[in-house]
Chains A and B, each alone.
Chain A
Amino acid sequence: AQKITQTQPGMFVQEKEAVTLDCTYDTSDQSYGLFWYKQPSSGEMIFLIYQGSYDEQNATEGRYSLNFQKARKSANLVISASQLGDSAMYFCAMREVNQAGTALIFGKGTTLSVSS
């Protein structure tokens, strides 16, 4: 079974600072995909960034980058130059594959609070 671990229930950062949200995963699959989603209080799940297990370079999307360390099975999200609008819940997720099909499974999430 696959598993996603996010050990930081809450993180606090000031505007314009960088912040790293931790995510480790456990899988025996050779091919897998890792995702980060942002969920503001409105409830919508907003896709941020994707990293495939065979991707040689770390993924980047604007202010978001993924620090992918395959040997350590970690996929930390780095947000540069935090903004007040970044305050939200952040979920790390992995694509789970079994005989029946595929779906995303989620870590417990990290609540990020950005202050001015």
Chain B
Amino acid sequence: DTEVTQTPKHLVMGMTNKKSLKCEQHMGHRAMYWYKQKAKKPPELMFVYSYEKLSINESVPSRFSPECPNSSLLNLHLHALQPEDSALYLCASSQRDRGYTFGSGTRLTVV
């Protein structure tokens, strides 16, 4: 299995909702990442988990809450988002700093 699987593919949520994005990989990669990407812009790093521990938080607002329950799973919990948080959220995993594999992303719309 050489894939990173993200669910759901599309999500529409209200500003008072709580929702979660899920990312799963079974390649044995020990680093996992969340990126946020606005239309026609490059992906921007949000969080990095290394060996299930949060190692990088790029000053992301607390309405985004990451979680890494085990080495294969990465979640992003969303609460009280704003319309400007609408974007494509990409998950990635890597091993030995060379092979970075991305999921197909979750397109989030906040209404």
- Residues of chain A whose beta carbon lies under 8 Å from any beta carbon of chain B: 33, 35, 37, 42-47, 50, 52, 89, 91, 95, 97, 100-109, 111
Contacts and interface: CB of A to CB of B under 8 A. Distances in A.
A96 to B, nearest CB: 8
B56 A44 contact: no
Interface of B: 31, 33, 37, 40-43, 45, 48, 50, 55-56, 88, 90, 92, 94, 97-105, 107
B106 to A, nearest CB: 9
A106 B50 contact: no
A107 B42 CA distance: 7
A93 B98 CA distance: 12
B56 A101 contact: yes
Given A43-B105, A95-B97, A103 B42 contact: no
A106 B42 contact: yes
A89 B31 CA distance: 25
B102 A102 contact: no
B42 A101 contact: no
A112 to B, nearest CB: 13
Contact of B42 (A33, A47, A91, A111): A91
Nearest to A92: B42
A40 B40 CA distance: 11
B12 to A, nearest CB: 16
Given A91-B42, A95-B97, A100 B48 contact: yes
A105 B35 CA distance: 10
A84 B31 CA distance: 35
A103 B33 contact: yes
Contacts of A35: 100
Given A100-B48, A103-B33, A103-B56, A108 B105 contact: no
